[in-house]
Chains A and B, each alone.
Chain A
Amino acid sequence: MSDDRVAQLLLTQEIAQFLYAEAELLDERRHDEWLALLAEDIRYWMPMRRNVKFGDTEREFTREGEDISWFDEGKDTLTRRVRQIQTGIHWAEEPRSRITHMVSNVQLLTVTPDAGMPREVTAKSRFLIYRNRVETETDLLVGKREDTLRRDGDGWLIARRKIILDQNVLLTKNLTFFF
């Protein structure tokens, strides 16, 4: 196997492990450590989706920075959301939900400058989030994430996340958790 292919393989595995570790932090409610994985200039965006006519692809998603979306956040608002949960009196998340983030289909889309010494990577993954609350409230949310990850020492920071949820009418009563 060529050096280049080996480097790709290792990098893909490294990114996947990063995403799994991130999911672990969220599932274990280690939110402060999760916030530390976010770049200071992070954009965290979950557009809404419309049912559109065949070919009308431009209008399927609400536009970042222009339309109403489910999330269109920076680090400050993500931090506030975490702090709100940590008050212990955010009733929508008190008692706490039980949650599992399953991450799969990790693919590297672009690597800058190369897999041997990557500074920035764009990666796509699929998620299945299972959330169970109080007695029998259960939500299953499935979709894709497009991430931009930036090298930070030996690790990575999430500089940008676009979350593509496969729903039109949102089928969960709230979004008190992170994707």
Chain B
Amino acid sequence: MNGTRGYHSGLVDLASGLISREIFVNEEIYAQEQERVFARSWLFVGHESQIPNPGDFFASRMGEESVILCRDRAGAVHVFLNSCRHRGMKVCRYDDGNTTVFTCPYHGWSYGTDGALVGVPFFREAYHSELDRAKYGLVEVAQLCCYKGTVWACWDAAAPPFLEHLGEFSRFLDLILDGWDGREGQAELLGGVQKWIIPCNWKWPAENFSGDTYHNISHRSVDLVGAGPSGRSRRDYSELSASRRLHVAIPDRGHQTITYVLPRDHQPQPAYQNSPEVAEYFRHCEEERRRRPGANSRLIGAPGEIFPNVALLPRQPRTLAVWHPVSAHQTEVWRFFFVDRDAPRAVKNFLRDYYIRYSGPAGMTEQDDMENWNYAHAASRGVIARRYPYTYEMGMGHAVADYEWEGLRMPGRVVDLTKAQASEEPMRNLYRRWAQFMEADSWDELATWRREAAREGLAAQ
């Protein structure tokens, strides 16, 4: 595929910047996605802070399917399909907890936390001891990766390892997982995963979080009352206005993000003056962050998307969302919220209050996003509507590789939004990758960077 007219009949036409409405509303396309995208991609399952002890489990989801994230007696992490190998009943219908076995209520088959089939009623009598129990452990994912506490899993053994899949996007995932002071991997989840249903295709929120800087008008109501994304009452307004705002798209991976780059000599401003403990905590963190080597000290996180369906917001609020497909017309959102594990209680509470107010179904900002996705989807379903593709032409041809500002290089293809305000480079990046997944027969075709590396290797000889 040459990256221009993608997905067979050109549903994703990047030469012209037009994408068909069918990709959102067509039920056959949705069905194909389950095989071609969700069954082959790395998917977010949970965080190790949810399963700290042996026997701990968290019922999660990969695509449409229920999975169990658990830690076995030896302390190893597993992700299993939540379905008894005998006749399919869910072996876990609790949201989370601690257990020694997962027992199926239908015929009583029982599995250890390592997935092994340990209990088969009447094994000697009814099965004459002939059943090969080793064949019937819980179905386990082909690959699993724990990265700074986050747990990712993939059903496809041929997929590249997680970090390779992440590529140069890893620094943006680090922004949400590293400490506010720059220490590695300090994030833990606040208790409580928000789960709710939205009446639209999963790709609406996926593209929004890929980098929609164009839609702030829809959040005007929350800006007016304070605590919105562009309100001057935002704590970090002075920082953001001193920064370069960028779109960064990692081609060949389908990950992209908005990000802010601080000037080289930027001094942090005092903040949270109403709460001395909180103010001091963040002052200390900012100072530490500037001290540490590494480019991330100059990055301020903003909405981004890891292909296919994980949205990051590393900053304010600090949250990760997964857009689980339910049908072409419905998505179940799971929202996870992070804090630094050793932050003082007062700081965690302060952040928590903000998170609840901003994100989720009671989030004053997220509510308007969902309304738009809901009715954009509904309006795309008709016969006439589907004849009119969407324009994703904004800023076509204006992204650059090798972007650098005051000594900081950014990876991938970058659009400087300082004047431009918005672009659709992130969306084009997302859908280019999506079209590749829909067309490719295997990861041999999808891991395009490996072919390029091989070619470069040959050329160097």
Direct contact of A and B (CB under 8 A): yes
The residues of A with any CB-CB pair to B shorter than 8 Å are: 46, 48, 50-53, 56, 59, 62-63, 65-73, 77, 80-81, 83-84, 87, 89-93, 134, 137, 168-176
Please judge, given known A-B contacts A50-B95, A174-B371, whether A169 and B364 are in contact too, CB under 8 Å.
Answer: no
Distance of A148 from chain B, by nearest CB (Å): 21
- Contact between chains at B191 and A62 (CB < 8 Å): yes
- Contact between chains at A173 and B374 (CB < 8 Å): yes
Q: Which of B167-211 contact A (CB under 8 A)?
A: 190-199
Q: In the complex, what distance in Å separates the CA atom of A89 from the CA atom of B355? A: 22
Q: Which of B362-384 contact A (CB under 8 A)?
A: 362, 364, 367-368, 370-372, 374-375
Pick the contact of A67: B96, B191, B371 (CB < 8 A). Answer: B191
Q: In the complex, what distance in Å separates the CA atom of A107 from the CA atom of B332? A: 36
Distance of B34 from chain A, by nearest CB (Å): 20
Answer yes or no: B344 CB below 8 A from chain A CBs.
Answer: no
Having A67-B191, A87-B225, one finds 19 other A-B pairs with CB under 8 Å, namely: A52-B95, A53-B94, A62-B191, A63-B191, A68-B190, A70-B362, A72-B352, A73-B357, A89-B221, A90-B222, A91-B218, A91-B368, A134-B375, A170-B194, A170-B361, A171-B196, A172-B196, A173-B371, A175-B367
Say whether chain B's binding surface is mostly helix, strand, loop, or mixed. mixed
Q: In the complex, what distance in Å separates the CA atom of A138 from the CA atom of B247? A: 38
Q: In the complex, what distance in Å separates the CA atom of A169 from the CA atom of B352? A: 20
- Contact between chains at A169 and B196 (CB < 8 Å): yes
* Chain B residues positioned under 8 Å from A65 (CB to CB): 349
Please give me the residue from chain A that is nearest to B222 by CB atom. A84
- Contact between chains at A92 and B362 (CB < 8 Å): no
Q: In the complex, what distance in Å separates the CA atom of A170 from the CA atom of B195? A: 6
- Contact between chains at B199 and A68 (CB < 8 Å): no
- Contact between chains at B356 and A71 (CB < 8 Å): yes
Q: In the complex, what distance in Å separates the CA atom of A52 from the CA atom of B59? A: 11
* Chain A residues positioned under 8 Å from B225 (CB to CB): 80, 83-84, 87
- Contact between chains at A173 and B221 (CB < 8 Å): no
* Chain B residues positioned under 8 Å from A172 (CB to CB): 196-197, 361
- Contact between chains at A173 and B196 (CB < 8 Å): yes
Q: In the complex, what distance in Å separates the CA atom of A67 from the CA atom of B335? A: 13
- Contact between chains at A52 and B94 (CB < 8 Å): yes
Please give me the residue from chain B that is nearest to A171 by CB atom. B197
Please judge, given known A-B contacts A168-B95, A175-B362, whether A92 and B337 are in contact too, CB under 8 Å.
Answer: no
Q: In the complex, what distance in Å separates the CA atom of A93 from the CA atom of B368? A: 8
- Contact between chains at A173 and B198 (CB < 8 Å): yes
Answer yes or no: B410 CB below 8 A from chain A CBs.
Answer: no
* Chain B residues positioned under 8 Å from A134 (CB to CB): 375
- Contact between chains at B191 and A66 (CB < 8 Å): yes
- Contact between chains at B368 and A51 (CB < 8 Å): no
- Contact between chains at B355 and A68 (CB < 8 Å): yes
Interface size classification for chain B: 35 or more
- Contact between chains at A68 and B352 (CB < 8 Å): yes
* Chain B residues positioned under 8 Å from A72 (CB to CB): 352-353, 356
Answer yes or no: B220 CB below 8 A from chain A CBs.
Answer: yes
Distance of A36 from chain B, by nearest CB (Å): 18
Answer yes or no: B224 CB below 8 A from chain A CBs.
Answer: yes
- Contact between chains at A68 and B337 (CB < 8 Å): yes
Q: In the complex, what distance in Å separates the CA atom of A169 from the CA atom of B193? A: 10
* Chain B residues positioned under 8 Å from A50 (CB to CB): 94-96
Q: In the complex, what distance in Å separates the CA atom of A144 from the CA atom of B197? A: 22
Answer yes or no: B270 CB below 8 A from chain A CBs.
Answer: no
Distance of A131 from chain B, by nearest CB (Å): 13
Answer yes or no: B108 CB below 8 A from chain A CBs.
Answer: no
Q: Annotate B121-148 by CB proximity to A: 1 below 8 A, 0 otherwise.
A: 0000000000000000000000000000
Please judge, given known A-B contacts A48-B192, A53-B97, A63-B191, whether A81 and B221 are in contact too, CB under 8 Å.
Answer: no
Answer yes or no: B226 CB below 8 A from chain A CBs.
Answer: yes
Q: In the complex, what distance in Å separates the CA atom of A157 from the CA atom of B93? A: 41
Q: In the complex, what distance in Å separates the CA atom of A65 from the CA atom of B191? A: 11
Answer yes or no: B314 CB below 8 A from chain A CBs.
Answer: no
Q: In the complex, what distance in Å separates the CA atom of A70 from the CA atom of B198? A: 16
- Contact between chains at A175 and B332 (CB < 8 Å): no
* Chain B residues positioned under 8 Å from A91 (CB to CB): 218, 221, 368, 371-372
**Residue among B192, B224, B349, B364 with max Cβ neighbours from chain A (10 Å):** B192
Q: In the complex, what distance in Å separates the CA atom of A52 from the CA atom of B98? A: 10
* Chain B residues positioned under 8 Å from A66 (CB to CB): 191, 349, 352
* Chain A residues positioned under 8 Å from B374 (CB to CB): 173
Q: In the complex, what distance in Å separates the CA atom of A65 from the CA atom of B352? A: 8
Distance of A30 from chain B, by nearest CB (Å): 19
Answer yes or no: B308 CB below 8 A from chain A CBs.
Answer: no
- Contact between chains at B199 and A69 (CB < 8 Å): no
Q: In the complex, what distance in Å separates the CA atom of A68 from the CA atom of B199? A: 23
* Chain B residues positioned under 8 Å from A175 (CB to CB): 361-362, 367
Q: In the complex, what distance in Å separates the CA atom of A175 from the CA atom of B224? A: 19
- Contact between chains at B362 and A71 (CB < 8 Å): yes
- Contact between chains at B361 and A173 (CB < 8 Å): yes
Q: Annotate B282-309 by CB proximity to A: 1 below 8 A, 0 otherwise.
A: 0000000000000000000000000000
Closest 5 CB pairs of A and B: A68-B192, A67-B191, A92-B367, A170-B196, A90-B221
- Contact between chains at A68 and B191 (CB < 8 Å): yes
* Chain B residues positioned under 8 Å from A90 (CB to CB): 221-222, 364, 367-368
* Chain A residues positioned under 8 Å from B97 (CB to CB): 52-53, 56, 59
* Chain B residues positioned under 8 Å from A169 (CB to CB): 195-197, 332
- Contact between chains at A84 and B195 (CB < 8 Å): no
Answer yes or no: B227 CB below 8 A from chain A CBs.
Answer: yes
Q: In the complex, what distance in Å separates the CA atom of A70 from the CA atom of B93? A: 22
**Residue among B191, B355, B375 with max Cβ neighbours from chain A (10 Å):** B191
Please give me the residue from chain A that is nearest to B373 by CB atom. A173
Distance of A141 from chain B, by nearest CB (Å): 12
Answer yes or no: B17 CB below 8 A from chain A CBs.
Answer: no
